[in-house]
Amino acid sequence: MVFDTKVAILVLEDLAVWQKLNVTAFLATGIAAAAPEALGEPYEDAAGRRHARLLGQPMLVFAAGPEDLRRAYAAGIARDLTRAVYVRAMFATGHDAANRAAFRAEPADAPDLVGLALRGPRKEVDRATKGASLHP
């Protein structure tokens, strides 16, 4: 199936594995919250128990260097793509309000990004992520 939109998650390549997984999970929830129309129907197991809905399209995860993240961030803003962000300072916080404060304290045009998720028209997301490689 070909989707009109694309979801790309860029994660700083030199993070510890637990940090990469944490950042990816947080960014995926940001995209899902921003695009509830992209969620599929709830899952149901063979016993009839309901489980949470998942995003109904693939999410590509890229290993990115700092320059890849800066370029994708600027392109995401310029192309008005849906963005979810994670900055290094958020590793030292313990709750959502502190995360928002940490991000707000970053320079607007050059936050210390360790992760970024983008969603929008396929071609626009492709242009924004040009140069980044899929995570191994």
Domains along the chain with CATH numbers: 5-35+55-134 (3.40.1490.10)
**Residues in contact with 53: Cβ distance below 8 Å, sequence separation at least 6, in sequence order:** 39, 40, 41, 42, 43
Q: Give the pLDDT confidence of 12-63 residue by residue, as tens digits.
A: 999 999 999 999 999 999 999 999 999 999 999 999 999 999 999 999 999 9
Tokens of 120: 């929008």
What is residue 1's predicted lDDT score, i.e. its pLDDT? 77
Residues facing residue 50 across a β-bridge:
44
Position 122, amino acid: R
- The structure tokens 């709750």 sit at 95
